[in-house]
Amino acid sequence: MNARKFFLGLLDIAVKVVFVIIVAMLISKYAKLAYSYGYQIFSQSAVSSGTGRTVSFTVKSGDDVDTIADNLAGLGLITDKRLFKLQERFSEYHEKEKPGTYELSTAMKPEEMLMIMSGGQDASEEEAGEQDTGDESDGG
């Protein structure tokens, strides 16, 4: 009887230790995943560097961010649909995508694509236009 209690006690301790180890491993895994997503939301990167590959992309009337993310991933413009949805959610272009056909590049960051799809200009064209206008009005 005494040996049986001892064995059950050891078994109980072993099960608890294994449970704690599994929980610690899961917490570690998902903490790393959460950090990675959090970092990538605000530190965006393009699929490719340099000039990239230009693709015509169409947003249809009624397309939501899930559909847009699926289509962008299908064309190779983004690598992670879930990450793109989070980036869209936390951007200033949240739910501002307009129907139309856009020229997007694999060298663009997700926020640049969102800006174009929301009806804004290309970032470099917009900055150049503001600088030209600002320089001329300040100088004259």
Flag whether pLDDT at 12 surpasses 90. yes
Do residue 33 and residue 62 come from a single domain?
A: no
Q: What is the pLDDT of residue 43?
A: 80
Do residue 64 and residue 104 come from a single domain?
A: yes
- Residue 20 covered by a domain: yes
121 SS3 class: coil
Do residue 2 and residue 24 come from a single domain?
A: yes
Do residue 66 and residue 121 come from a single domain?
A: yes
Do residue 110 and residue 67 come from a single domain?
A: yes
- Residue 108 covered by a domain: yes
- 58 contacts: CB under 8 Å, gap ≥ 6: 100, 101, 102
Q: What is the pLDDT of residue 49?
A: 80
Do residue 15 and residue 59 come from a single domain?
A: no
Domain count, the chain: 2
Flag whether pLDDT at 1 surpasses 80. no
**pLDDT, tens digit, for every residue of 39-59?**
888 788 888 887 888 889 999
Do residue 31 and residue 67 come from a single domain?
A: no
- Residue 48 covered by a domain: no
38: containing domain: 1-43
From residue 140, give the alpha-carbon distance in Å to each of 6, 96, 114, 137: 93, 37, 36, 6
- Residue 136 covered by a domain: no
Q: Is the pTM of this model over 0.75?
A: no
Give the CATH number, domain containing residue 124.
3.30.1490.480
Mean pLDDT for the chain?
83
Report the pLDDT averaged over residues 12-40: 93
Q: What is the pLDDT of residue 30?
A: 94
